Amino acid sequence: MFLKLRQVSRDRISRNVINDAKLEAERILKNADITSREDLYKRKERLEKDTQETRHELRQLEKRLSKREDNLERKIDILTKKEKYIESMASNLSNKERELGKKKMQLDDLIQEEKDNLYKVSGLSGEEAEKLLLSRLEKELDRECANLIEKHTKKAKEEADKIAASIVCTAIQRCASGNAIDNVVSTIELPGDEMKGRIIGREGRNIRAFEKATGIDVIVDDTPGIIVLSGFDGVRREVARLAMKKLIMDGRIHPARIEEVVQETEKDIDQIIQETGKQTCFELGIHDLHSEIINLIGRLRYRTSYGQNQLQHSIEVSNLAGILAGELKLDAQTARRCGLLHDIGKAVSSEVEGTHALVGADIAKRYDEKPEIINAIAAHHEEVPSETVYSVLINAADAISASRPGARRETLEKYIKRLEKLESVAMSFGGVESAYAIQAGREVRVIVHPDKVSDKSASKICYDIAKEIEEELEYPGEVTVTVIREKRIVQKAK
C-alpha cells in the first residue's frame, strides 16, 4: 500500500513535471515563434526598403539611359545628315572639278590661240617674247631696287647728317677761337719825321741795304710818324720789323750796322720759332716730333692764308679734330697730331714744287710719321683718296676752322663777284625762277617753278648746280645748295 501510494505519488510528480515541461516547451515555442516572426518582419522590412532603393536607382539609371539613348539618336541623325551633306558636296565637287577641267582645257586652248595670234601680230617667237618679257621685268626690278636704294640711302644720310651735325656743333661750342686777322704789312712808329731821312740814307743807300738784307720792301711816304714794311714772307717781315726797331732805338743806321742787326735778329727769330714750336706741341700734348717738324710748326706763326694766321689755324684744327675724335670714340691724340701737321707744307719755301698738302705729306713721311697721319695731311684737300677716318676728320675740322665767321678775309670786290657768280651759276639751269646767295656765300637758295620742275627733277638740278659750282668757282670751305619747290594756289573771295 505504501508502495502504491509512493508509486502514485511518483506518477503524479512525473505528470506534473511532464505538464510543466510541456508548458515550458509551449512557452519556448511561442517565444521562438514570436521572435522568428519579429525577425522575419524586420527582414521583410529591410528587404522592402532595399527593394525600394534598388527600384529607385533602377528608375534613375533608366532615365539616364533613356537620355543617353535620345542623345545618341540625335547624334546619329546629325551624323546621317552630315554624311548626306558630305556626299552631296562630294558629288557637287566632282561635278565642279569636271566643269573646271573642261574650262581649263578651254582656257588653255584660248591662251594658246592668243599666243599664236600674238606671235603672228608681233612677229616674235616664244623665246623672243620670253626674253622681251624678262627684259621688262628686269627694268621694273631695277627701278624698284633704285627706289629702295634711294629710300634707304636718304634715310641713312638723314640719320648720319643729324649725328654729324650734333658732333660738329659740340666741337664748335667747345673750341673757342678769336677773330683776329693778320696783314701782309707791318707798320712801325717813328720818334720823329727826321728819322725817315736817316732810314733812307744818303742817296737811299740805307734803305737799299735794308731791303737787300731782309727781302722786305720799306715804304716811306708822306704819312707822318710811320713807315710801312711790306712782304708776303712772314718770317722775313718779322725779321725786318724787329731789326728796324733795333736800328731806330740804337740810332746808328748805316749798311754795315744794318747787316749786323739783321743777322742778330735772324738768330733771335730762329730761337723764337723753335720755342713757339715746342710751346705749341706742349700745349696740345703732342710729343716725339722731329726737331725739324717743330721748327716748321714755329714758322707757321709768321704765315697767313686768306688773312688767317696759319699757326692759330693749325692749333684750332688740331683741337677740333681731337674733340671730333673723342665724340666718335677714336684716338684723340692721333687726330690732334694730324690736325697740327695738316698744313705743315705751307711753312717750307715756295721753291719746293707741289701743293702744300702733298709737300706736307712728303715731310711727314721723311720724318717717319705714321701712315694714317701722312694720308690725313695729303688728303685734307682731296688731292689723294682718304684711306682712314682721320683723313675725313681733318677735312671736316679744316673746313670748320676756315669757314667760321671772322676766320678769313676777302676783298669786297672779290666777295661780291663770288656771290654774283654763285647766283649766275644757279640761274643758268632751266626751270630756275630765282637764286639767292646767303650766309656770306656759304649757301645758295634756289627757287624753281613748280609747274616746270618735279621733285625728282629738283633733286637732279640741285646735284648739277653743286657740281657746276665745284668746277667753276674757287672758295674756302664748302657751299650748300638748297633747291626749293613750292606749289601755291591762291583764290580771292569776293
- The per-residue pLDDT for range 107-135, each reduced to its tens digit, is 888 888 777 776 666 665 667 667 776 77
Bridge-based pairing of strands 432-438 and 443-448 is antiparallel
Q: CA 360 to CA 367: how far, in whole Å?
A: 11
What is the end-to-end Cα distance of the chain in Å, rounded? 176
Angle subtended at Cα 35 by Cα 30 and Cα 38, rounded to the nearest 5 degrees: 125
Poorest-pLDDT segment among 74-88, 182-196, 357-371? 182-196
What does the pLDDT read at residue 2? 61
Residues 360, 342: one domain?
yes
What does the pLDDT read at residue 122? 61
Indicate the DSSP class of residue 411: -
Judge contact between 377 and 341, C-beta under 8 A: yes
**CATH number of the domain to which 267 belongs:** 1.10.3210
* Residue bearing the bigger pLDDT, 243 or 147: 243
Residues 219, 292: one domain?
yes
Closest Cα partner for 357 from 375, 335, 332, 369?
375
> Which parts of 255-386 are beta strand (E)?
304-305, 308-309
> Which residues are registered as beta bridge partners of 226?
189
Rounded mean pLDDT of the chain? 80
Judge contact between 213 and 166, C-beta under 8 A: no
Residues 74, 157: one domain?
no
Q: CA 239 to CA 216: how far, in whole Å?
A: 9
Residues 143, 291: one domain?
no
What is the domain range of residue 429? 412-485
Q: CA 407 to CA 320: how far, in whole Å?
A: 14
The predicted-structure confidence for 283-338, as pLDDT tens digits, reads as follows 888 888 888 888 888 888 888 776 677 888 888 888 888 888 888 888 889 888 99
- Which range has highest mean pLDDT (133-137, 230-234, 456-460, 462-466)? 462-466
Strand order in the sheet with 443-448: 432-438, 443-448, 480-485
Poorest-pLDDT segment among 12-26, 159-173, 283-297? 159-173
Judge contact between 269 and 236, C-beta under 8 A: no
- Give the pLDDT mean for 417-437: 87
Indicate the DSSP class of residue 229: E
Closest Cα partner for 165 from 324, 305, 343?
324
Q: Look at residue 492 and tell me if it is in a domain.
A: no
Q: Does the structure show a pLDDT above 60 at 408?
A: no
Q: Look at residue 251 and tell me if it is in a domain.
A: yes
What residue type is 265 in one-letter code? Answer: T
What phi and psi values does residue 185 have, to the nearest 5 degrees? -130, 155
Residues 115, 248: one domain?
no
Q: Does the structure show a pLDDT above 80 at 61?
A: yes
Q: Look at residue 14 and tell me if it is in a domain.
A: no
Q: Look at residue 8 and tell me if it is in a domain.
A: no
Separation in Å, CA 51 to CA 57, 65, 330? 10, 20, 100
Residues 254, 395: one domain?
yes
Q: CA 474 to CA 481: how far, in whole Å?
A: 15
What residue type is 81 in one-letter code? Answer: K
Residues 46, 68: one domain?
yes
Q: CA 320 to CA 336: how far, in whole Å?
A: 8
Q: Could you give the percent of the chain with pLDDT greater than 90?
A: 1
Q: Does the structure show a pLDDT above 70 at 176?
A: no
For cell 731791303, the residue is 211
Q: CA 248 to CA 63: how far, in whole Å?
A: 139
Closest Cα partner for 317 from 376, 362, 358, 272?
376
Residues 141, 77: one domain?
no
Q: Look at residue 226 and tell me if it is in a domain.
A: yes
What does the pLDDT read at residue 299? 85
- Give the pLDDT mean for 462-486: 84
Q: CA 433 to CA 280: how far, in whole Å?
A: 51
What does the pLDDT read at residue 401? 77
Q: Look at residue 293 and tell me if it is in a domain.
A: yes
Angle subtended at Cα 384 by Cα 469 and Cα 442, rounded to the nearest 5 degrees: 30
**CATH number of the domain to which 435 belongs:** 3.30.70.1350
pLDDT-derived band of residue 180, with 50, 70 and 90 as boundaries?
very low
Q: Look at residue 250 and tell me if it is in a domain.
A: yes
**How many folded domains does the chain comprise?**
4
Q: Look at residue 447 and tell me if it is in a domain.
A: yes
CB atoms within 10 A of CB 214: 24
Closest Cα partner for 178 from 299, 341, 312?
312
- Exposure of 130 by Cβ count < 10 A (0-12 exposed, 13-18 middle, 19+ buried)? exposed
Q: Would you state the cell numbers that stand for residue 488, as one nine-digit string?
A: 601755291
Residues 392, 456: one domain?
no
Q: Does the structure show a pLDDT above 60 at 178?
A: no
The predicted-structure confidence for 237-271, as pLDDT tens digits, reads as follows 888 888 888 888 888 888 888 888 888 888 888 88
Residues 433, 381: one domain?
no
pLDDT-derived band of residue 388, with 50, 70 and 90 as boundaries?
confident
Q: CA 200 to CA 117: how far, in whole Å?
A: 105
DSSP labels, 397-410: HHHHHHHSTTS---
Poorest-pLDDT segment among 1-15, 44-58, 132-146, 398-412? 398-412
Q: Does the structure show a pLDDT above 50 at 181?
A: no
* Residue bearing the bigger pLDDT, 105 or 234: 105
Q: CA 385 to CA 379: how far, in whole Å?
A: 6
Q: Would you state the cell numbers that stand for residue 373, as one nine-digit string?
A: 697721319
Residues 291, 308: one domain?
yes
The predicted-structure confidence for 338-383, as pLDDT tens digits, reads as follows 988 888 888 886 656 778 888 888 988 888 888 899 998 988 888 8
Residues 251, 318: one domain?
yes
Q: CA 493 to CA 180: how far, in whole Å?
A: 58
